A = this chain, B = another copy of it.
Amino acid sequence: MKPTSGNAPDSLLKLENFLCFAIYSTANAVTRAYQPRLAVLGLTYPQYLVMVVLWERENQTVKSIGEKLSLDSGTLTPLLKRLESAGLITRRRDTVDERQVLIGLTDEGRAARRRAEAIPIAIGKAFGCTLGEANDLRAELITVRDNLIASIDKAK
């Protein structure tokens, strides 16, 4: 009996064998699963991640948020402006180092945290796996992700 796939050159280019596609399509599904729950808070999924980072610690720079989320200013600047005009965050230049922009929370942004706390529970159920399985999967993904990032950096 042969393994799952056919002869070598063929099986390499089969979608169903792609770990990358499993990651890609799962990420899209995550965004779609979050969308209705975040819509009531007026947030998109990336905006929600930024809020989570700020709920952990207020007054971070754009760079600090970007490092935690692996996003650059090209993504964050317009996103943060939208959160600001939604009244959830504040943006102000650091007076000590005026290159930096400090992102803080408004009262409304702080208050949104309570309503957000129900979301991980609901999504956890939608994943359909135990907390233990989720943690194992998370750890494996982070290993793979950090390997990928290392290989990208090495190429530079």
Which residues of A come within 8 Å of B, CB atoms?
4, 9, 12-15, 17-34, 36, 45, 49, 52-53, 55-56, 68-70, 113, 116-117, 120-121, 123-129, 133-135, 137-138, 140-145, 147-152, 155
Contacts and interface: CB of A to CB of B under 8 A. Distances in A.
Contacts of A128: 143-144, 147-148, 150-151
A36 to B, nearest CB: 7
Contact of A117 (B13, B113, B147): B13
A15 B53 contact: yes
A147 B134 contact: no
Nearest to A144: B127
B152 A32 contact: yes
Copies in the complex: 2
A33 B148 contact: yes
B30 A23 contact: yes
Contact of A151 (B33, B68, B113, B151): B33
Contacts of A155: 36
**Most chain B beta carbons < 10 A, residue from A27, A125, A133, A150:** A27
A26 B145 contact: yes
Given A13-B120, A56-B15, A24 B27 contact: yes
A18 to B, nearest CB: 7
5 contacts: A9-B117, A17-B138, A24-B45, A29-B152, A126-B151
